[in-house]
Structure 1
């Protein structure tokens, strides 16, 4: 079961930095994300969703593998891989999985003008290694599906900007 975590930041650039850090942690297999979206609210109150395309890359890789396998059968592996990658990326981009868009837009209306929120759907994480990496960005926890103890620990880490060792 995945865990929903929504953290507010003062601006989009901070949220984007956290996304970059989480992307690196994902390549190190310290966190597995199902969805990651940055929600912003501009000065006019308009809410925008910025998909991070974490899942599209997986679709392209899977498509390339299947395409390469099918290409080997028909003796054109490179063409098969190219078609498979394109199909996998397109399928991943068109498939809306993860956090509900209406929920994210509603959450965005609660942000301060110019603010941003990072909404994550976390499949799994090595918290003792992930928390120190994101702690120095700070942020305010605005919603989670964590249990009370885990949510309180996350709030504490982000407020003090240093990872607790507990």
Structure 2
């Protein structure tokens, strides 16, 4: 079973820094991440999602390959590649991998403009090593599926020696 953790940071850059730190910890087998998305509330109020996988682009590349291959069979590889790219991009755009996009956008509506929320779907983790790695990095826990003890330990670790204040998100 996976756990969801959502942490709010004052900027997109800070959220990206922490996401990269989590990827480094994944290389050390401290954490296993299913998905990690950064949602940013822009000054206009629009929520932008910075996902790991661009499913539209991946679908277009895959579709181009298969379309060209099928096109070769019917002696028109360029037409096949074009049709395959279009079909692949469409299917990729309709695919939702990992954390539900609508859920992330809805939850991110509570952010202050300019703030970023780091959504992490965790398959497994070594709790004490992860807490040591994120200690003092700041951020406010917005939502988690962790048990109360682990959630409080995460809040305490993030808050240790925080130097930048983040406006608290409004509750939905």
Look up the match of 2:125.
125
- Cα separation, 1, equivalents of 2:136 and 2:20: 14
Q: CA RMSD in A?
A: 2.4
Does residue 1:148 correspond to 2:148, yes or no?
yes
Look up the match of 1:159.
159
Deviation at 1:161, TM superposition (A): 4.3
Gaps of 5+ in 1: 54-89
Look up the match of 2:26.
26
**For this pair of structures, how many residues does the alignment match?**
127
Q: Is the 8 A contact 2:137 2:159 kept in 1?
A: no
Q: How does 1:70-149 map to 2 (within 5 A)?
A: 94=92, 96-149=96-149
Deviation at 1:123, TM superposition (A): 0.2
Q: Is the 8 A contact 2:36 2:51 kept in 1?
A: yes
TM-score scaled to structure 2, two decimals?
Answer: 0.68
- Cα separation, 1, equivalents of 2:127 and 2:40: 26
Look up the match of 2:42.
42
More helix by share: 1
Q: How does 1:45-64 map to 2 (within 5 A)?
A: 45-53=45-53
Helix, strand or coil at the partner of 1:37: strand
- Cα separation, 1, equivalents of 2:161 and 2:104: 25
Look up the match of 1:11.
11
Gaps of 5+ in 2: 54-87, 163-172
TM-score scaled to structure 1, two decimals?
Answer: 0.70
Deviation at 1:39, TM superposition (A): 0.3
Deviation at 1:96, TM superposition (A): 2.6
Q: Which aligned segments of 4 or more residues in structure 1 are displaced greater than 3 angstroms?
A: none
- Cα separation, 2, equivalents of 1:154 and 1:47: 25
Q: Residues 161 and 36 of structure 1: is their aligned pair in 2 closer, same or farther, counting only changes over 3 Å?
A: farther
Helix, strand or coil at the partner of 1:24: helix
